[in-house]
Structure 1
Amino acid sequence: MGTLAALSAMRADTSSLTAAHPDHVFRPLPDVLGRWAAEGIDTSPFHAGAADAEQRYAGFGLSRMLPLDRVLVGCASSRPGAYGGFHHPDQGYRHLQMAAVVTMQGPMERRTPEHPSLALLDLLRAYAHDCLHYGSRRRYVDAAGVPVRTQYGINYRRVTGQSYSVADERGSHHTRNLGIVMEGACDREARSIARKAAERSGIAAPPGALGALAFRDVTGTLTEDDRLRAVSFPDSVERTRYAAALRNYEAGVNRRYAHFLGEFAPGEEHECHGRLLAAIISGDTTGLGAWLDDRHGPGTFAGLFRTPGYFEPDLTA
């Protein structure tokens, strides 16, 4: 089976993704939104936010958003205490299947979300985030009948598994890892989209410690106290785990990306961020590399990110 045929077969069957969550009921995103609307929930903040994202992303070169029916939402669960949202374990966009698996924010033993407006913002953040993953440049090769991704956005990987950039040291506050840079760029955009949707619709943080924390996370308004203070819920393992995952993602991705922008584009963070997103979508580092070279000298991109011993004669071919 060739690479394209193998990928097509994977994309025709997403059961392997939902099978990782046997306690949850998954439905396509349009179905979930329709069910919530039938229950009297105003779903317009999601739709307006998705339209904003499509218009904005077009400016970075994204020609097509992730189809809504390729987003599978875990909208109910038989597991006692199940708690969903952006930081639920083992979810997100899966490039081989070209589908996203997400969960309803909050307690999942319900027909509708505990805090509908927050759940809609959380879905919007996840969708806006995954649209950028979906639209990132990818390249695959056939390796003994198995499709292997050798390029994702502006990161590269040999068939042997060697990555262009290496993982950051544990506990590092900065990053030299392209996976973190790309993830941070995608989430910065997604949270901006969700924040604007909240402002436009007058959505405020819900009551309760975890709901308020999740709202600040979704809208990119976490405080320094949020980043430093662990939150625990003695009566709920899943809520405690969710709060820890939220905090770890903020420290390991968003704070590192913000530090990267401040380090290499002080006063020009917005410009650098936009150039990064355009490069991620096109897969072409030429413009981004030249912009960095103008500020930090020749070969800045490779000097920052390339693993010693990794040789790539033409990154943009």
Structure 2
Amino acid sequence: MLLNLGRSLTPSCLGPNEHLADGVAERAELAQRLAAQRATAALNQAHPHITFSLLHWVLDTWADDAAREVFRQGAALLADRYRQLGLGQLLPIDRVWVGVRSTQRDAFGGFHHPDQGYRHLQLASVITRYGRLSDARLSSPELVALDLLRSYAHDCLHFGSFREYRLQGGQVVRSRYGINRRDGNGRTYSAPDQADAGTTRNLGIVMEGATDREARTLAHTVAARLGLADRVEPADRLAFRDTTGQLEAADFDHVAPGVASRFNLAMASYERGVGARYRMFLTETGGTAADTLHGLIIAAMVGGDLSALTAWLDQRHGPRTFPRIFRSPAYTGPDPGE
């Protein structure tokens, strides 16, 4: 075995920070319905052309020792960092499916492959290895490992974030997720950002940005320790900069044609819509204490308690800063802490 990341901890119904809503008269029915949905949910229907393998099988069968070391060191750092953030249980690696081959000649895998990521209903993750999926060879094994590390670290936070489920009209609904929530009509607490926004006031973008900041910081640390930047092939340098959180706007002035072009375009869209907006939000709202604000956001996402986050915002920006920044006029439910 390469790693022991808790394969015996696979949850049967609820994740580590998932909850059934308090005061629900139909609590037993809610638990039964949620368990039934999770027992029958399918994972890979969106990718019929891709062959998937469990993450631990992928890691155990790698012949490249350098790639194995990338993931080994990253997993150790990951466990320590997330424990500090209040997340003691990582996403079990037997709940992570990795796309390793494709029958489509132009299929290109990695963090930005479409229709992948964590599935809260299935308590599982669907990801793909970086590179051409029609080719069994790993053209850049250490970058493949680093990209998988980023995806796994990213989805561990999604797995471990606070969730609340309740019954609504006889259906199971996710009424709270991290620092976000929905009202009785299904409206989210914050409205979507404008398409050309340079920053964000949307809690979904804030949480996604915070999650990937953690994942990319971890990848950057491992890459620096192992000196990976000096060994990246020219064709993979953009992906390396993305994985390690070093992208700049000029990186996307020209996207070279080829199999990876759609992947790079998806990378650019994600960076502009999530990464860059979250960084600007931290700068605007946190100033020189941006790292402190980021830590408070992550802690609130994991534990579901927003009191430290809202108190910090109020101290710096005045009373009720959180609803002033984020609350949509269409939302009719309670504010955090109410």
Task: Judge conservation of contact 2:131–2:144 (CA < 8 Å) in 1.
Answer: yes
1:59 corresponding residue in structure 2: 84
1:20 equivalent in structure 2: 46
Counterparts of 1:72-221 in structure 2, within 5 Å, are 72-204=97-229, 206-209=232-235, 211-221=236-246
Q: CA deviation at 1:93?
A: 0.5
Answer yes or no: is 1:7 the counterpart of 2:34. Answer: yes
CA shift, 1:203, in A, is: 1.3
User: Deviation digits for residues 4-41 of structure 1, max 9, x if unmatched?
Assistant: 23332343455x2211100100111001111214x656
SS at match of 1:265: helix
Q: Which residue of 2 aligns with 1:297?
A: 318
- Residues 1:159 and 1:113: Cα distance change in structure 2 (over 3 Å): farther
Question: Normalising by the residue count of structure 2, what TM-score does the alignment of the two structures yield?
Answer: 0.87
Mean CA deviation greater in 305-314 or 217-226: 305-314
In 2, distance between residues paired with 1:56 and 1:31? 25
Question: Equivalent pairs: percent with the same residue?
Answer: 47
Distance 1:286-1:248 versus aligned 2 partners, 3 A rule: same
Question: Which residue identity is paired with 2:46?
Answer: A
8 Å CA contact retained: 1:192, 1:220? yes
Worse-superposed segment, 200-209 or 292-301: 200-209
Match of 2:57 among 23, 31, 53: 31
Match of 1:43 among 68, 89, 95: 68
What 5-or-longer segments of structure 2 have no aligned partner? 1-27
Matched with 1:311 is 332
AA aligned to 1:232 is A
283, 286, 289: which one pairs with 1:265?
Answer: 286
Report the equivalent of 2:276: 255
Normalization by structure 1: what TM-score? 0.93
Deviation at 1:129, TM superposition (A): 0.6
Q: Is the Cα contact below 8 Å between 2:74 and 2:222 reproduced in 1?
A: yes
Q: Which ranges of structure 1 fall in alignment gaps of 5 or more residues? A: none
Show the 5 A alignment for 1:202-241: 202-204=227-229, 206-209=232-235, 211-226=236-251, 228-233=252-257, 235-236=258-259, 239-241=260-262
Aligned residues: 310
Q: Displacement of 1:159 after TM fit?
A: 4.0
Deviation digits for residues 126-163 of structure 1, max 9, x if unmatched? 11111111111000112244211010000001242211
Query: RMSD of the alignment, in Å?
Result: 1.7
